[in-house]
Amino acid sequence: MRLQDRVAIITGAASGIGKATAVTFAREGARVVVADVNAELGQAVAASVGPDAMFAHLDVTDRAAVQAFVEQVVARYGRIDILVNNAGITRDAQLVRYKEGQLVGQMSEADFDLVVAINLKGVFNCTQAVAPVMIAQKSGVILNASSIVGLYGNFGQTNYVATKAGVIGMTRVWARELGRYGIRVNAVAPGFIQTEMTAKMPEKVLASMAEHTPLGRLGQPQDVANAYLWLASDEAAFIHGAVLSVDGGLVMGT
């Protein structure tokens, strides 16, 4: 019960890593707030983790909605101890794609803007809304979802990589700014994790991912949830401004 009675907000908690984190935190005694745009799946997760959990339909790009959501959580629980900024999407495409000397495709501006709005500005919106609550408490933990691609880049992911690298930068800034208030800020950088997102990929691609991972397998959502649990707990009381890779030793190539 490492998170006994602590109030934890997890964005993007309706599936994948977010769902595994919600279940894990609840099992360790936390009062979990499941935040997601998918109401059906999100409500199911909240119901599954116990009567003290709540679901909130949340679009992290909507600053007014985020602020109202944070106020709702404080009104119900009286505090916020943990924020896991997990919500994120991909919209992959090459910057420019050429075939036989001709431009045949490129990443659209709309896809670039959407990924930045959710993966980067969404993290900013949620953290900026929650930080004053934690400052008043003189305690709190903020955990941000980066990615191994934020460290090493990845083919066809200009938008996604930009956001995940940006999350690392924001994590380090907030560690400097918020540490004085007793708030710890860290990031997790998963490698290739077997989620609903990767389930859509061809078997050949998944096999290649596993082959490039020294442990010889894709990660599971629980692997990342366990990292979040440790960072959120008192066992990581002196871990601050860190980026924890959960990647099976993956070495990125081109």
Per-residue pLDDT of the chain (254 residues; tens, 9 = 90+): 999 999 999 999 999 999 999 999 999 999 999 999 999 999 999 999 989 999 999 999 999 999 999 999 999 999 999 999 999 999 999 999 999 999 999 999 999 999 999 999 999 999 999 999 999 999 999 999 999 999 999 889 999 999 999 999 999 999 999 999 999 999 999 998 988 777 777 788 788 888 888 898 999 999 999 999 999 999 999 999 999 999 999 876 54
Q: Is residue 114 part of a domain?
A: yes
Q: Is residue 254 part of a domain?
A: no
Q: 143 with 83: CB under 8 angstroms? A: yes
**Could you give the residue ranges of the DSSP H alpha helices within 105-153?**
109-116, 122-137, 148-152
State how far the Cα of 3 lies from the Cα of 16, in Å rounded to an integer.
Answer: 21
Q: 159 with 115: CB under 8 angstroms? A: yes
Nearest to 16 by CA among 98, 73, 76, 87: 87
Q: 68 with 46: CB under 8 angstroms? A: no
Provide the pairing of β-strand 102-106 with 96-99: antiparallel
Other CB atoms within a 10 A radius of the CB of residue 17 amount to: 29
Q: Is residue 62 part of a domain?
A: yes
Domain CATH code at residue 193: 3.40.50.720
Q: Is residue 82 part of a domain?
A: yes
What's the Cα-to-Cα distance from 20 to each of 10, 74, 153, rounded to whole Å?
Answer: 10, 24, 26
Q: Is residue 2 part of a domain?
A: no
State how many domains the chain has: 1
State the catalytic residues.
Answer: 160
Domain containing 202 equals 7-246
Q: Name the pTM for this structure.
A: 0.95
The predicted pLDDT at position 201 comes to: 72
HSE of 50 in the Cβ direction (CA atoms, 13 Å)? 15
The predicted pLDDT at position 209 comes to: 81
Cβ neighbors of 213 (< 8 A, separation 6 or more) are 191, 192, 219, 247, 248, 249, 250
Q: Is residue 143 part of a domain?
A: yes
Q: Cα(first)–Cα(last) distance of the chain, in Å?
A: 42
HSE of 91 in the Cβ direction (CA atoms, 13 Å)? 17
